[in-house]
Amino acid sequence: MTTIPVTPPTQTWGEHSRAILALGVPLIGSNLAQMVIGLTDTLMLGWYDVTALAAATLATSLYFLLFLMGIGFANAVAPLVAAAVSAGQEVEVRRVTRMAMWLSIGFGLVVIAPLMVSAALFEAIGQDPEVSRMAQEYLRIAGWGLIPALLVAVLRSYLSALELTGMILWATIGAAVLNALVNYMLIFGNWGAPELGIRGAAIASVGTASLTLVILLAYALWKVPQYRLLQRFWRPDWQAMGRVSRLGLPIGLTALAESGLFSGSAVLVGWIGTLELAAHGIALQLASAAFMLHLGLSQAVTVRAGRAMGRRDEAGLRRGAVTAYGISAAFSVATVVLFLTFAEPVVSLFVDPGDPRRLEVIAIGVTLVGMAALFNLVDGMQVVALGLLRGVQDAAVPMVHAAISYWLIGMPVSFLLGFTFGFGAVGVWAGLVVGLLAAAVLLSWRFWGRSVRIGRDVPLSAT
């Protein structure tokens, strides 16, 4: 039987840093590997057929939107399990994880139906009928992978809360390799397989998610058998389900609000011009890769904050939070240096050398990458604050703060600077920075105000 390590209540700054990085580095690696899976799909479908790529882009936009709505239940597991472990509540660990799995399965079953008839939705919003038909063809297969993908997210949170993040990294790397191989085989009809095109990419996605689920579940059952994760799995636990729902729903809606901000920014830049939109896509891809550093760090501090909450360790919580902000700032400084130093050669990698508009796209892209460096600084601050708040099981008010920051501040400022004041794509990005800065300030203010009460009037859900 494996004993789960419980962090001692008093630690030095260096011990906090090492503990956060020990949790966070594998999570950062797994997030980057997950990005590689999406990049592989894009590259291979682009090599196969431009229409197939357009259809997959359209389909995955809807899929990802639904995934973000459902992943809140999975993200609720990490703080709830971390607090329960530190409080010595072994039964609570199983209860909340099992009900998060129930909710994820239920959500997946509900949203599969509209995916089966999604062509009508795409055509209703003005998409090409052939592209819409192919997108529906993709989703009729890939939609069945939504449930295993959400369950994988639950197990990632569960294992992270138990400080067992190494297997998450290796499983995701394995998934990336498998996805590439199956894509190569089924999209193009290699190695004697049928040439399935976009359907092959969908099959690869379902297979990859399913295999990852089997690996992580088998590992969890073997590594920590004392929690008996699947014991009486069929029995509903309405009290635990309520706790997961109350924390998970606002987490999912917060992620949706942030994702919507970036989708909206693409629409705004698209109104400005095609070259600007191409440069925007390049800059956003680089910013997203850098964001994986902060996202992994945020996931780690959620666990650390949850552990501190379970121990009623206010001093440890606050010291750990300061350490997390410091690590995030160090990541941001490194990103700024890299972005400003290598912007032009990196942007040029994304542009066809034979394209006559290449120099224009690169010039715009270099400017936007400079904005992305500033963007990354405030984005890191807000996601670390969000991770800390989730760790202390505070999600409803942060959801409101995020919505205000992104949609009442960020998006209007983007429009004003981009169009009213004529700064174009740079103005749109400046609005994103302002929105994320507002979120960073509001969420940090919320955390520091709430953390001082961690040992006083913030009860554990199970007490």
Q: Please list, in sequence order, all residues whose beta carbon lies within 8 angstroms of the beta carbon of residue 114, skipping any fewer than 6 positions away.
A: 121
The average confidence (pLDDT) of the chain is 85
Q: Please list, in sequence order, all residues whose beta carbon lies within 8 angstroms of the beta carbon of residue 108, skipping any fewer than 6 positions away.
A: 70, 146, 147, 150
More confident residue, 326 or 352: 326
Domain ranges of the chain: 14-236, 246-463
pLDDT at 451 over 70: no
Residue 455's pLDDT band, with cuts at 50, 70 and 90, is very low
Q: Which of 372, 169, 107 has its CA nearest to residue 265?
A: 372
Q: What is the mean pLDDT of residues 234-260?
A: 89
> How many CB atoms are closer than 10 A to CB 367?
18
Q: What is the pLDDT of residues 264-288, one digit of tens each?
A: 887 788 788 777 877 777 787 788 8
Long-range contacts of 420-424 (CB under 8 A, 24+ apart): 424/272, 424/276
Q: What is the pLDDT of residues 300-314, one digit of tens each?
A: 999 998 888 888 888
Residue 340's pLDDT band, with cuts at 50, 70 and 90, is confident
Residue 233's pLDDT band, with cuts at 50, 70 and 90, is confident
According to DSSP, residue 190 is labeled -
More confident residue, 364 or 126: 364
State the Rg of the chain over Cα.
22
Query: Is 308 buried (19+), middle (13-18) or exposed (0-12) by CB count in 10 A?
Result: buried
Integer CA distances (angstroms), 53 to 20, 56, 96, in order: 39, 5, 39
pLDDT at 297 over 70: yes
Q: What is the pLDDT of residues 421-432, one digit of tens each?
A: 989 889 999 999
Contact of 26 with 172, CB cutoff 8 Å: no
Q: What is the mean pLDDT of residues 6-12?
A: 57
Helix 358-391 to helix 424-451 angle (10° resolution) is 10
The Cβ-side half-sphere exposure at 322, using a 13 Å CA radius, reads 10
Residue 454's pLDDT band, with cuts at 50, 70 and 90, is low
Q: What is the pLDDT of residues 156-189, one digit of tens each?
A: 999 999 989 899 999 999 999 999 999 999 988 9
Angle 195-198-199 from CA coordinates, rounded to 5°: 75
The alpha carbon of residue 50 and the mean position of all alpha carbons in its chain are separated, in whole angstroms, by: 27
What is the SS3 string spanning 118-182? HHHHHHHCCCCHHHHHHHHHHHHHHHHHHHHHHHHHHHHHHHHHCCCCHHHHHHHHHHHHHHHHH
Per-residue pLDDT at 4? 45
**Cα distance between residue 438 and residue 406, in whole Å:** 8
Per-residue pLDDT at 15? 81
pLDDT at 245 over 50: yes
Residue 453's pLDDT band, with cuts at 50, 70 and 90, is low
Written as six digits, the tokens of 95 are 């209860």
Per-residue pLDDT at 232? 83
pLDDT at 11 over 80: no
Listed ranges 59-63, 399-403, 452-456; the one with the highest mean pLDDT:
399-403
pLDDT at 133 over 80: yes
Q: Which of 182, 208, 210 has its CA nearest to residue 194?
A: 182
**Cα distance between residue 137 and residue 119, in whole Å:** 9
Q: What is the pLDDT of residues 36-92, one digit of tens each?
A: 887 787 778 777 777 787 778 778 878 888 888 889 999 999 999 988 888 888 889
Per-residue pLDDT at 169? 92
Question: What pTM was estimated for this model as a whole?
Answer: 0.84
Residue 158 amino acid letter: Y
Angle 372-256-325 from CA coordinates, rounded to 5°: 50
Q: Please list, in sequence order, all residues whose beta carbon lies within 8 angstroms of the beta carbon of residue 48, skipping any fewer than 6 positions away.
A: 187, 188, 197
Helix (H) or strand (E) holding 83: helix 50-86
Per-residue pLDDT at 404? 95
Per-residue pLDDT at 383? 93
Helix, strand, coil % in the chain, rounded to nearest 5: 85, 0, 15
According to DSSP, residue 352 is labeled -
